[in-house]
């Protein structure tokens, strides 16, 4: 008799709206859940003794969750299933996602949250699901902050400070965001190291930059709560400049930000670790000009409201 799974579960992706890098040093960040995330569906395998499989064509994943597997996704999923007392045999899990993987959009947290929900079911508490997701996230990220898992499980907009419980933010108006994947790979660890190296080299100059990023977050939250998209757009532009000063942007991201503004975005900034990954634009009055400005990059449009 195999351990049962629920037939379907889903989770949000995430985007850091403001505050990346400074959040590592204890300043606040604000992140939003993306309606686009991961959907998993489970079906029994004909032979219940066969290992659980995970197939996500959008991410080129087709795995057996075998205890001997050294694939990080298999190992992470097995950690989640072990945490939840879920099955390791008898199920075929198939996933769909509109998120690019490894682009700073919380794909691994969305996967592990959805997997925990396949075991626990739709009524599981956010805290239980986050704890199970973190068991898998540790395989990918060592000691993750937990922000990605929380946003993946809860959605909405969250203010986050390291070591404190996240606080939900209520947007005064839906946030019209456009996420533009650069297609350039990046390493979060390398980018955090670049910022740290700049801080250590010039602490009296760079520490105020980190403080300014934190201030942009607080002003940004005020703007989000009051539906003041014009001010939020200006804060995106300021944050992008500050992130450049922290040495985590790149000529490609700077060009993309300029192109997004020229195409009518209210503001644009890198999001997440930087150097590659994604650009985040606050959509202005004409979203179609943004699409036209990035013909080869498949912009993802999202409206983020309260969870």
CB of 278 to ligand PMV, least distance (A): 8
CB of 145 to ligand PMV, least distance (A): 6
Dihedrals φ, ψ of 7, to 5°? -70, -25
Contact of 220 with 22, CB cutoff 8 Å: no
Catalytic residue among 148, 228, 230, 247: 148
Residue 161 makes contact with ligand PMV by CB under 6 A: no
- Taking residues 176 to 205 in sequence order and writing x for each that binds ligand PMV by CB under 6 A, - otherwise, the string is ------------x--xx-------------
CB of 53 to ligand PMV, least distance (A): 28
Residue 20 makes contact with ligand PMV by CB under 6 A: yes
Counting every residue, how long is the chain?
A: 307
Residue 21 makes contact with ligand PMV by CB under 6 A: yes
Task: CB nearer to ligand PMV: give 210 or 223.
Answer: 210
Task: CB nearer to ligand PMV: give 104 or 136.
Answer: 104
3-state secondary structure of 59: helix
Task: CB nearer to ligand PMV: give 265 or 270.
Answer: 270
Closest CA to 17 of 217, 174, 287: 217
Q: Is 85 a catalytic residue?
A: no
CB of 100 to ligand PMV, least distance (A): 12
Query: Exactly one of 86, 214, 244, 277 binds ligand PMV (CB under 6 A); which one?
Result: 277
Stretch that binds ligand PMV, among 21-29, 45-53, 132-140, 222-230 (CB under 6 A): 21-29
Query: Exactly one of 24, 50, 58, 98 binds ligand PMV (CB under 6 A); which one?
Result: 24
DSSP state of 264: T
Contact of 151 with 119, CB cutoff 8 Å: no
Q: Report the C-alpha gap between 69 and 105 in whole angstroms.
A: 25
How far CA 169 is from CA of 50, 109, 215, 271, in Å, comes to 45, 20, 16, 19
Q: Report the C-alpha gap between 76 and 83 in whole angstroms.
A: 11
Structure tokens at 179: 């996420």
Q: Which residue is nearest to ligand PMV (CB)?
A: 272
Backbone CA torsion sign across 66, 68, 74, 79: positive
Query: Exactly one of 273, 279, 280, 282 binds ligand PMV (CB under 6 A); which one?
Result: 273
The percent helix, strand, coil of the chain (3-state, each to 5) is: 45, 25, 35
Task: CB nearer to ligand PMV: give 221 or 273.
Answer: 273
Adjacent-strand bridge partners of 12:
37
Q: Report the C-alpha gap between 144 and 151 in whole angstroms.
A: 13
Closest CA to 102 of 56, 59, 154: 59
Query: Exactly one of 272, 276, 284, 299 binds ligand PMV (CB under 6 A); which one?
Result: 272
Residue 145 makes contact with ligand PMV by CB under 6 A: yes
Task: CB nearer to ligand PMV: give 23 or 223.
Answer: 23
Please identify which residue in the block is written with the tokens 């000009």: 289
Residue 99 makes contact with ligand PMV by CB under 6 A: no
Binding-residue total with ligand PMV (CB under 6 A): 12
Active site residues: 148
Binding residues for ligand PMV, per CB under 6 A? 20-21, 23-24, 104, 145, 188, 191-192, 272-273, 277
């Amino acid at each position: 008799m195999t351990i049962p799974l629920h037939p379907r579960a889903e989770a949000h992706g995430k985007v850091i709206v403001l505050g990346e890098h400074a959040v590592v040093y204890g300043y606040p960040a604000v992140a939003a859940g993306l309606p686009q995330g991961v959907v998993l569906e489970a079906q029994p395998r004909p032979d219940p003794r066969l290992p659980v499989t995970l197939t996500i064509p959008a991410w080129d994943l087709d795995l057996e969750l075998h205890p001997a597997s050294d694939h990080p996704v298999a190992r992470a999923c097995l950690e989640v299933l072990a945490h939840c007392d879920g099955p390791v045999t008898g199920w075929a899990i198939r996933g769909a996602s509109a998120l690019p993987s490894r682009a700073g959009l919380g794909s691994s947290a969305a996967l592990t949250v959805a997997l925990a929900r396949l075991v626990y079911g739709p009524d599981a508490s956010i805290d239980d699901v986050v704890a199970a997701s973190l068991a898998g996230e540790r395989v990918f990220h060592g000691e993750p902050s937990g922000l990605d898992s929380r946003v993946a499980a809860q959605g909405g907009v969250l203010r986050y400070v390291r070591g404190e419980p996240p606080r939900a933010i209520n947007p005064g108006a839906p946030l019209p965001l456009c996420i533009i994947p650069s297609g350039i790979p990046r390493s979060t660890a390398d980018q955090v190291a670049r910022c740290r190296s700049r801080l250590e080299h010039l602490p009296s100059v760079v520490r105020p930059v980190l403080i300014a990023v934190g201030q942009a977050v607080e002003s940004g939250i005020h703007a989000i709560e009051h539906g003041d998209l014009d001010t939020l757009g200006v804060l995106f532009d300021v944050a992008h400049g500050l992130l450049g000063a922290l040495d985590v942007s790149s000529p490609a991201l700077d060009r993309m930000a300029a192109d997004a503004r020229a195409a009518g975005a209210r503001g644009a900034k890198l999001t997440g670790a930087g150097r590659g990954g994604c650009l985040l634009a606050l959509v202005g009055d004409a979203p179609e000009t943004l699409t036209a400005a990035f013909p080869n990059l498949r912009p993802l449009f999202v409206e983020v409201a309260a969870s």
